[in-house]
Structure 1
Amino acid sequence: MIDVSWMTSRISSLVAPSRSAFCMLRRKAALGALIIAAVAPLVIYKFTTTGSLALVDTFAGAEASRLILGDGNGTLFSAVAGWLDRSIDAVARAGGGVFGAITSGVRAVLDALAVALNGTPWPAVMLVIIVTAWRSAGPRAAIFTTAALACIALLGYWPSRWRRSRWSARRPSSASPSAFPWASGSASRAAPSPPPSPCWT
């Protein structure tokens, strides 16, 4: 004989909510009604009167700061901002070497990626990105990635954005004669021009 009591009790619990669920729903409805009862009079008062109270229009931040910090000690915002600045400065001074090492490591990785992206032909880069999207998220992501890369290439953003990375060091070209004037080997250099004479002489 098949015992259907468990199935019957399960269906009845799904169809008819339990007493605890009904009590929770009633508490949520009461809380919503309480919030509406608190907010609605303020909104109606604000939009139906010509001269509302200043306490309703603006938050009393200056009064609260004066009550907590005292007269002449600024505001809570300035006190908290100053404390945060001092704390961040202390952490930066204490862990400057660690933060510098992390920055150097991140910059090295970004420079390597920039060199790889700039030096690798665009079909290889595009193929690697598409295959990575396909293997990680499926064919739909690969199709979307292909369309996005094609849009970037057709709009002309591919060469202008990847030709030179913003993380790469901008060093002057050695071919420019004005980049390193001391390396030209010529002893005769143009003398600096005299300063202009004052306009009143």
Structure 2
Amino acid sequence: MSNVIKPQHLEAGMSYSAYRQLIDNLLDQSKTTGPNQSESYVKYTELNVRRMRRVEKTTKLQPELIAQLEKVNQSWVWVLLTEGWCGDAAQSVPVIAQMAEVSPNIQLHILLRDEHPEVMDAYLTNGGRSIPKLICLNEELETLGSWGPRPEAAQQLFDEFKERYGDKFRDHYSEWSEQLQLWYARDRTQAIQEEFSREIASWLAITSA
């Protein structure tokens, strides 16, 4: 599959440490990433920094996942679309960054969603610009697959919640956010690790075909 992602996108991409530094610098100015600079989005970002720090300190990659990552013997590019205010991203981006560090053959490039709509619109979820979204590419920048915006079990919770409230979903967003973060706290990154073990196995199968 050909890809909208070009070398210039990779040049614009950030490392995880640069992404974290950007968020910290913006928060020092009471700002966040993206065009929405509302007080609520800045507050979400402050919460997310604490969440990322917790995930960074507590995540231990599963042996099965490490074994899959160590099988990557060709150059892969991981492009990760995210924003600092996104609650799902705070729980997943640090784990994905840790995964990429395991293999010297995986290059991680973090892009801000709202600065790269042409990339985001090629990887919609049910027609929406949901993040985080991880795209795995080979050396020729052809798509091997993608993951996101959240683990399957969390996505099922989201679908059920949205079906329950329909058009009034936004009125209950704080309730949804609380339920989601409780799910992440209980899961402790196990679901995303298990899913990436399977995804990497399928991407390896494509490259070896």
Scaled by the length of structure 2, the TM-score of the pair is 0.23
Higher relative contact order (CA 8 A, sep 6+): 2
Scaled by the length of structure 1, the TM-score of the pair is 0.24
Structure number with higher helix proportion: 1
Larger radius of gyration: 1
Structure number with higher strand proportion: 2
